[in-house]
Amino acid sequence: MNFYKLRLFLILLITVMAGILFVMKTSKQTLSPKNEMLQGKATLKNAPSKDQKPVAKDYAPGEVLLKFKPDTPKSVIEGFKKSLGVTSETYIQSIQVYHWKGKFEVKEAIRTLTQSKYVQYAEPNYRVQTQK
Check residue 44 and give its pLDDT: 47
Domain range list for the chain? 1-42, 55-129
Per-residue confidence (pLDDT) for residue 15, from 0 to 100: 86
Mean per-residue pLDDT pooled into runs of 10, the chain (132 residues): 79 82 64 50 49 66 95 94 94 93 94 95 90 76
| All residues at 6 or more sequence positions from 47 whose CB lies less than 8 Å from its CB, including other chains | none
Q: What are the CA-CA distances from residue 42 to residues 5, 33, 45, 97 (Å)?
A: 50, 7, 10, 33
**CATH number of 55-129: 3.40.50.920, 3.40.50.620, 3.30.70.80, 3.60.150.10?**
3.30.70.80
Helix (H, G, I), strand (E, B) or coil at 70: coil
What is the model's pLDDT at position 1?
63
Task: Give residue 103's pLDDT.
Answer: 92
pLDDT at 11: 86
Alpha-carbon distance 122 to 99, whole Å?
Answer: 10
Tally of residues, the chain: 132
Position 42 scores a pLDDT of: 47
Among candidate residues 125, 123, 118, the one with its CA nearest the CA of residue 80:
118
Amino acid at 62: G
